[in-house]
């Protein structure tokens, strides 16, 4: 096994002048090293945010191991440097490099970016610029690495489509392996870049933006997007792993030397969600619902903890407590976890199926925090968004938590939701107060304090959701609602955290944008925009100036409702859920009518076509 590469003198100098040099050295336990001369395909997996954020991303860990299991492929990691390191790399002419080999991105065959969040788009450009790679796909011939993208933002990748040679819609396990195999064939058979791109376009889920032409109406609205050559699909259907047990969870992780935000063992227990929350993009684009078996989860978790040394295990998914055999899974894990001193945490708990048994089985080693998503402060608005949660269920869940000794609860809410009124905003404060009052109504609460934290995000309408047709609240309106919410809180036992409305508004523009925004993104970057997800770097005025310089009004993307019969820039991206279903759900939302969860009644979203069968056996109630 080759040893980690030596650091060059310029890199040593740079590292001596920056905070947290461990972000840039590599050499962590669990890294994969290979001989560059002995592999056929080299890929840089780039996460367009800092090391601490990227090393928390489970998707990278899954694909890193999967690709490196191929003896003749080598996948390495690369992250967006912090501002101090970026400045030193520019000063010392150090090109952006992979952590394992320290080789620059320009020697890679594939440079892949995971697009998890729209505000990371300028980081993609910053990383390409640091690597010395032309920003736009049209300016790169076959001498440059293939620049690809994956992640949830690809479901409307049009604002950044001009920067990528290819984009991956859907789940990457099989799709990315097919891309690597095509690149290997291209190298061995001498294909030119157009031939390679044509072969990539044949892979299920792969979108080659240059093979599609966009047309706009005379009034400037988006009109259509169509293939510009034969053999290219009019609609790209997302790739999916039909059987999660066919791809076991990672056996090992790269263990960060600089603390990651989520620094623990993590096993994905299911994909998709049955709930159908109308605001939630992930709940729509990751359909249909699929589970891993308890045996595969438990054995994967045991191996992962054994190989990494982690003593905390997270069972990850959009809604872990919806796993039909979760109690059985926890029993299997608890056969070995307590003896190994491994504690359990369950993110994404649901208040309607939370139980004392579930709490007891996840706190045998140590307690972790409890977070529940109420999303809205009134039942009317919860029905609008199809949250299917009642105050009685919230009360029951908090009562169980308090009875087990918890004195702090965190609740997630959103503001700016469609049809929202100021009564709904007050309802957030009222819900928190009712939780406080509940705590002090219990006998065991005497002499002890309680803390209820409400984390309140600004709602952003996202493509491929029933609310894609809705306008976003204006920045001034969101600020007024935030101030009003704070004024409604009259207890020190309640803490309100809320997000900056300016970043949410830009997120809304980029989420529902078209290809014309690529010039805006590039202009903002050229004028200093990067690390926009970090408050100390984000500059709303810089972005406004970029829109003005490009002659584009951002308000038409997020402040204008999208009529259901109007074409959208993402209509050619088929995530499985039909537009007809989204329209039906939007119409039901405007009537505050709820739709049952998928496992209880099929609502005909269309995603079952991706697995070729019904999603559930409706002859029995599996949950």
- CATH number for position 449: 3.30.750.200
Choose the final residue of a domain: 237, 252, 287: 237
- CATH number for position 196: 3.40.50.2300
Question: What proportion of the chain, given as a percentage, has pLDDT over 90?
Answer: 87
Contacts of 94 (CB under 8 A, 6+ apart): 8, 10, 11, 14, 88
DSSP state of 314: E
The overall average pLDDT reported for the chain is 94
Note the helical H segments in 272-340: 281-285, 294-308, 326-333
Where does the pLDDT of residue 321 fall: very low under 50, low under 70, confident under 90, or very high at 90 and above? confident
Task: Judge contact between 44 and 50, C-beta under 8 A.
Answer: no
Note the helical H segments in 466-577: 475-487, 501-511, 517-526, 540-549, 555-558
The mean pLDDT value for 581-599 works out to 97
Give pLDDT, residue 421: 98
Give pLDDT, residue 403: 87
Structurally, how many domains does the chain consist of? 2
**Boundaries of domain holding 206:** 9-237
- The answer to the question of residue 36 being in a domain is yes
Task: Judge contact between 190 and 148, C-beta under 8 A.
Answer: no
- The answer to the question of residue 354 being in a domain is no
Helix (H) or strand (E) holding 89: helix 83-91
Give pLDDT, residue 623: 41
Where does the pLDDT of residue 45 fall: very low under 50, low under 70, confident under 90, or very high at 90 and above? very high
Question: What proportion of the chain, given as a percentage, has pLDDT over 70?
Answer: 96
| Higher local confidence (pLDDT), 352 or 232 | 232
- The answer to the question of residue 500 being in a domain is yes
Give pLDDT, residue 165: 98
- The answer to the question of residue 340 being in a domain is no
Report the distance separating Cα 64 and Cα 320, nearest Å. Answer: 24
- The answer to the question of residue 529 being in a domain is no
Q: What is the pLDDT of residues 559-586, one digit of tens each?
A: 999 999 999 999 999 999 999 999 999 9
Which pTM was predicted? 0.95
Give pLDDT, residue 345: 82
- The answer to the question of residue 345 being in a domain is no
Please list, residue by residue across 463-501, b when 16 or more beta carbons sit within 10 angstroms of its beta carbon and e when fewer do. bbbbbbbbbbbebeebbebbeebeebbeeebbebebbbb
Give pLDDT, residue 353: 77
- The answer to the question of residue 410 being in a domain is yes
At residue 369, does pLDDT exceed 80? no
| Paired strand residues for 440 | none
- Greatest distance between any 2 Cα atoms in the chain: 77
- The answer to the question of residue 109 being in a domain is yes
Where does the pLDDT of residue 426 fall: very low under 50, low under 70, confident under 90, or very high at 90 and above? very high
Where does the pLDDT of residue 622 fall: very low under 50, low under 70, confident under 90, or very high at 90 and above? very low
346, with CB counted inside 10 A (0-12, 13-18, 19+), is buried
Give pLDDT, residue 44: 98
Choose the final residue of a domain: 183, 206, 237: 237
Choose the final residue of a domain: 197, 217, 237: 237
Contacts of 296 (CB under 8 A, 6+ apart): 244, 245, 248, 249
CA distances, 200 to each of 167, 204, 357, 457 (Å): 10, 9, 49, 38
Task: Judge contact between 387 and 277, C-beta under 8 A.
Answer: yes
Residue 467 phi, psi dihedral angles, 5° rounding: -95, 10
Q: What is the pLDDT of residues 436-452, one digit of tens each?
A: 999 999 876 666 789 99
Q: What is the pLDDT of residues 88-133, one digit of tens each?
A: 999 999 999 999 999 999 999 999 999 999 999 999 999 999 999 9
Task: Judge contact between 51 and 259, C-beta under 8 A.
Answer: no
Please list, residue by residue across 306-325, b when 16 or more beta carbons sit within 10 angstroms of its beta carbon and e when fewer do. ebbebebbbbbbbbbbbbbb
Give pLDDT, residue 363: 63
């Amino acid at each position: 096994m080759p040893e980690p590469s030596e650091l060059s003198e310029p890199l040593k100098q740079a590292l001596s002048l920056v905070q947290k040099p461990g972000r840039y050295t590599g050499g962590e336990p669990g890294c994969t090293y290979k001989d560059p001369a002995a592999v056929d395909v080299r890929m840089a997996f780039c996460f367009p945010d800092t090391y601490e954020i990227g090393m928390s991303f489970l998707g990278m860990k899954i694909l890193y191991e999967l690709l490196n299991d191929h003896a003749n492929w080598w996948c390495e990691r690369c992250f967006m440097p912090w501002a101090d390191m970026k400045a030193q790399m520019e000063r010392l002419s150090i090109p952006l490099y992979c952590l394992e080999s320290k080789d620059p991105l320009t020697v890679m065959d594939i440079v892949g970016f995971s697009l998890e969040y729209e505000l990371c788009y300028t980081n993609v450009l910053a990383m390409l610029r640091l690597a010395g790679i032309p920003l736009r796909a049209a300016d790169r011939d076959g001498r440059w690495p293939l620049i690809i993208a994956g992640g949830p933002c690809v479901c409307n990748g049009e604002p950044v489509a001009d920067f990528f040679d290819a984009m991956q819609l859907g789940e990457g396990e099989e799709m990315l392996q097919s891309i690597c195999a095509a690149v290997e064939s291209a190298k061995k058979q001498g294909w030119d870049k157009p031939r390679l791109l044509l072969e990539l376009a044949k892979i299920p889920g792969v979108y080659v933006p240059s093979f599609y032409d966009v047309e706009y109406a005379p009034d400037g609205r988006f009109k259509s997007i169509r293939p510009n050559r034969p053999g290219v699909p009019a609609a790209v259907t997302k790739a999916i792993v039909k059987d999660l047990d066919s791809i076991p969870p990672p056996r090992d992780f790269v263990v960060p030397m600089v603390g990651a935000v989520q620094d623990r063992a993590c096993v994905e227990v299911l994909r998709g969600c049955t709930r159908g929350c109308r605001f939630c993009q992930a709940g729509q684009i990751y359909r249909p619902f699929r589970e891993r078996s308890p045996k595969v989860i438990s054995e994967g978790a045991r191996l992962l903890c054994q190989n990494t040394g982690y003593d905390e295990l997270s069972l990850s998914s959009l809604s872990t407590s919806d796993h039909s055999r979760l109690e059985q899974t926890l029993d299997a894990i608890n056969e070995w976890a307590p003896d190994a001193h491994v504690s359990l945490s369950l993110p994404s708990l649901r208040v309607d199926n939370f139980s004392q048994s579930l709490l007891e089985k996840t706190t045998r080693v140590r307690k972790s925090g409890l977070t529940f998503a109420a999303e809205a402060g009134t039942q009317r608005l919860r029905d609008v968004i199809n949250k299917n949660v009642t105050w009685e269920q919230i009360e029951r869940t908090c009562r169980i938590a308090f009875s087990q000794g918890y004195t702090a609860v965190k609740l997630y809410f959103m503001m700016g939701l469609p049809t929202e009124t100021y009564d709904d905003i007050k309802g957030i404060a009222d819900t928190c107060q009712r939780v406080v009052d509940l705590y002090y109504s219990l006998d065991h609460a005497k002499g002890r304090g309680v803390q209820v934290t409400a984390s309140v995000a600004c709602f952003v309408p996202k493509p491929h959701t029933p609310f894609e047709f809705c306008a976003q609240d204006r920045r001034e309106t969101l600020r007024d609602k935030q101030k009003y919410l704070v004024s409604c809180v009259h207890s020190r036992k309640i803490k309100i955290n809320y997000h900056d409305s300016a970043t949410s508004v830009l997120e809304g523009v980029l989420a529902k944008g078209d290809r014309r925004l690529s010039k805006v993104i590039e202009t903002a970057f050229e004028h200093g925009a990067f690390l926009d997800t970090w408050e100390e770097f984000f500059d709303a005025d810089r972005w406004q100036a970029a829109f003005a310089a490009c002659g584009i009004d951002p308000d038409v993307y997020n402040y204008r409702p999208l009529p259901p019969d109007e074409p959208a820039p993402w209509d050619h991206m088929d995530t499985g859920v039909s537009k007809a279903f989204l329209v039906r759900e939007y119409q039901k939302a405007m009537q505050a009518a709820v739709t049952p969860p998928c496992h209880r009644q099929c609502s005909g979203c269309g995603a079952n076509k991706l697995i070729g069968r019904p999603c559930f056996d409706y002859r029995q109630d599996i949950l």
